[in-house]
């Protein structure tokens, strides 16, 4: 048996008009449309308040979007990337701020699809 190693490594050419960002979890570079942008808005009342795909004010952190999800679906972040980003403190790097345990909780609560059904 001769296994064929002819895997065509054709990476989809990325349109130069499409802005490319890196996921803070897996560090893969992808077109913006395949990522979810999470912006931290500083609010006096909340430890951390997240805007998913919100207006482009503030610093954004990018995470891979689950394939096929709508851009306005909140729970569309690839969980492996989210976990990795959290464990590697990538949010504090992206936002240039300290992200404490409370913030981590808030991020998890905001982005994880626990009970919220997507519809």
Element (H, E) at 61: strand 60-64
First-residue to last-residue Cα distance in the chain: 48
The helices-and-strands tally (H runs, E runs) of the chain is 3, 5
Rounded to the nearest whole angstrom, what is the least distance from the CB of residue 23 to Zn ion in the complex? 3
Closest distance of CB 64 from Zn ion, Å: 3
Question: Binding residue for Zn ion (CB under 5 A) from 21, 23, 65, 99?
Answer: 23
- Applying CB under 5 A, the site for Zn ion has a residue count of 5
Instruction: Kindly state whether residue 35 participates in binding Zn ion, applying the rule CB under 5 A.
Output: no
Based on the shown chain and the rule CB under 5 A, indicate whether residue 111 belongs to the binding site for Zn ion: no
Q: Are residues 71 and 97 in contact, defined by beta-carbon separation less than 8 angstroms?
A: no
Q: Which residues bind Zn ion (CB under 5 A)?
A: 23, 25-26, 64, 81
């Amino acid at each position: 048996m001769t296994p064929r190693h002819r895997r065509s490594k054709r990476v989809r050419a990325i349109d130069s008009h499409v802005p490319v960002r890196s996921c803070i979890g897996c560090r893969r570079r992808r077109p913006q449309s395949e990522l979810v942008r999470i912006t931290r808005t500083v609010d006096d009342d909340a430890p951390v308040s997240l805007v998913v795909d919100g207006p482009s004010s503030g610093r954004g952190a990018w995470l891979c979007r689950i394939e096929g999800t709508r851009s306005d679906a909140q729970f569309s972040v690839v969980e492996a990337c989210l976990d990795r980003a959290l464990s590697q403190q990538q949010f504090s790097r992206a936002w240039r701020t300290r992200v404490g345990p409370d913030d981590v909780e808030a991020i998890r609560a905001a982005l994880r699809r626990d009970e919220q059904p997507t519809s």
